[in-house]
Amino acid sequence: MGRVRLAERVHQAHDDRVLSFRRFNLRWAPWCLPAAALLLGLLLTDVPLLDIVRYAAYFGLAVLLPGTLVHRALRGSRGNLPEDLGLGGATGLLLLLIGWAATAATGLQAFLPAWPAAIVVLFLAVPRLRGHWLIADRRPVPLRWTWVLAGTMTLVVASLVPFWHNQLLPPAQDVWFQDLGYHLALVHEMTRSMPFQVPQLAGETLRYHYLSDADMAAASMLTGIDPIVVLLRLWLAPIAAITVLVVTALARDLTGGKWWAAVLAAAAGVTGLPLLAWAQGSNPISYYSPSQVYMLPLTGLLLTLAVPAVRGRGLGWAWLLVFPLALACAGAKSSALPPVVFGLIVATGTTLGRRERRRPALTMLGLTLAAMLVGTFLFAGGGAGTLSLQPFAVLLGFVPYRQTLGAADVNDGTLRLPDGVAHLSAGGFLFLAALVLWWLLVQAPRLAGLVTLAGARNRRDPAVWLLAGLTVAGVGGMWLLWHPSLSQTYFYLGMIPFATVLTVRLLADRQPGQRLLLGGLAAGFLATGIAARLPFAGVRGMAAWAWQLYWPAAFVLAVIVLLSVLVIRRRGLPIVLTAALLGGSVGVFAERAAEADWKALRDQGRHTSRLLILQDEMVAAQWVDRHAGPDDVVATNVHCWPPGGPAAGCDSRAFWVAALTGRRTLIESWGYTDAAVAADGDGGLRYYRQPPPDPARYALNQRVFELGAAADLAELRDRYHVRWLLADVRSGPVGLAAAPVFTAGPVTIYELR
């Protein structure tokens, strides 16, 4: 009998282990989907497998692991690994920035790998910290919602692959968007010691929100992977994945822990697009703006701290995170903190009559405001200093406005209003009103949450006022301010995921049943899928544009209402319409990701664009990168797009020499310098067409390449410490008589010994 019972216990233990293993596999199976999509996408776009493995190890061991341990120690576990990794990943980004800043300030970059290792060792060595390696009170994500989160990440990866396919890895003849070259040069600059300089104008102090570039620089230094591969391939997807998980955690806090609401907010907030058609203020995940993407997880983490604070709960040891985190947000994107500060002001105002809530809210506001002011001093330069008040200036980015009312407008921030708005006829006023209303309509998935303030219970929740305030501030910054590059749009773009959380809160408050929720999501997804196939072509004339904008909107709304009535028979129409807005937003994103024409993307402008960089030019620049010292300075005659333009009036945003050589240049392109941006409009020229900010340096540089006089070469070497000359005959005549050290096509490299 004893042997029988023993055998039964052994079999039972075996069955329990099998069942536990199967459950473990089921919980991890969804995450294989985005991981496989990411691996396949990177391999198909020429990323070496070894680089992928090294970057995955770096991100797991230097970002996720130390960040999760520290976040659990300061705030406790959320009871599930995805949210812990999301909030921990954002914390890990902050911790890595602290380590990077300390080593860059002291010149001890070689010790950067010891920083995350020291944090991990601390949590191994200190007995009181060891408990944070495990989740004590497990509250796992329901499996079906795990699949939705994993599907959202997969959709993000799918949207990035066409960009990777389009942007070839150097050296390959290719068209480069100028901002990618600018950021790549900054990534190289962030591997040097403070104080930082403008890479394209050696000696000029750098004032810019460069912390996204610092994060990429840290990744490159820790892994040994070329910064080009980090920027163009490896960096963005993990940052977007952390954003998805952080938005999930924030939405759960706002909706009373509802998982369906949290994953819906993450899907619609991170992947959603405006309904029906393109509109200024599109998707917060931008391949061409690393700073915009990098601010999202940091700002989301800050808001997860702000929500309990404005609700009157202290943060304990987590208060230590608030100021450095807010400062990191300011250094990630200069437009990140102003809407958050406005939201905190509004939320704090609702707590002033409640003494028990007032102190944490005021403390959060004070720390965040202080960080914004310090960040303005440390990071805000160039374009951030040119913002001015000009309502409706953003309309210059709307094609219907530019082809009608704004056909004669000049992008001039000194005006009270754009000319097309200042001199409206009666018909023009109606068209302007229709255009603004159309924008509000297509942005409804992000803005509908403001309706939550109509409910008395929501008005008593300061967290609702926080998100409503930042949403209004984001929209207000976009529509009330002027920037020479329409960058006022970033005030709104950065708030889209968090504004969408408020829309989901509106839906969650109505307690929709499963049938209503799924019916509404499906109706919106289907309606926008049909609308994507409706003909939409550029037209001229206000009446024609109004019809072209509104008839697809009317069609989509009619389809949504019809499907809603068929599903619910009018009983829950507000619920279904709100769900349809969110479903339609994700549907537009999915439609565009699925319809990407990869061949057209790769071939577009490959041989004719003025932004074309030849393969030989890349080969020569990368030769310098391999042979130059880390602090060597390069002089070049490359300044303009297209090559060879005059100094005055050329588009001075070439940027590829500093980017691909990885070195500071004496004077390359000056289009993004503080002096150029501040001079926008002078002489009727945009900022990137202004003359060189240092005419004497520019004149010396040009004399060297055109004449090659010994005295000028000596001044270049002795005064400006130039070591290398990169001469490109596409950019002008070259009269140097020195012996070259390398030649590739139109480019010749010289060394000043």
Q: Which residues pair with 635 in a beta bridge?
A: 725
Look at residue 509 and tell me whether its pLDDT is greater than 90: no
CA distances 600 to 163, 597, 604, Å, are 12, 5, 6
What pLDDT sits at residue 317?
94
CA gap 687, 677 in Å, rounded: 5
Question: pLDDT class for 589, splitting at 50, 70, 90?
Answer: confident
Question: pLDDT class for 568, splitting at 50, 70, 90?
Answer: low
Question: Stretch 349-372: mean pLDDT, rounded?
Answer: 88
With beta carbons less than 8 A apart as the criterion, state whether 64 and 88 touch. Answer: yes
What pLDDT sits at residue 601?
45
How confident is the prediction for the chain on average, in pLDDT? 88
DSSP string, 607-621: TT-TTEE-HHHHHHH
Tell me which range, 244-248, 414-418, 574-578, is most confidently predicted by mean pLDDT: 244-248
What pLDDT sits at residue 467?
97
For the chain, helix (H) and strand (E) counts, in that order, are 33, 9
Task: Give the Cα-Cα-Cα angle 699, 702, 707 (nearest 5 degrees).
Answer: 115
What proportion of the chain, given as a percentage, has pLDDT over 90? Answer: 61
Q: How many CA atoms does the CB half-sphere of 648 hold within 13 Å?
A: 5
| 211-223 and 290-310 helices, crossing angle to 10° | 110
Question: Stretch 131-139: mean pLDDT, rounded?
Answer: 89
Look at residue 1 and tell me whether its pLDDT is greater than 80: no
What pLDDT sits at residue 606?
53
CA gap 677, 386 in Å, rounded: 7
Least confident among 402-406, 430-434, 567-571: 567-571
Question: pLDDT class for 25, splitting at 50, 70, 90?
Answer: low
With beta carbons less than 8 A apart as the criterion, state whether 156 and 240 touch. Answer: yes
Q: Torsion over CA of 204, 209, 215 and 218, rounded to 10 degrees?
A: 20
Least confident among 159-173, 185-199, 599-613: 599-613
Tokens for 640, please give them.
């303009």
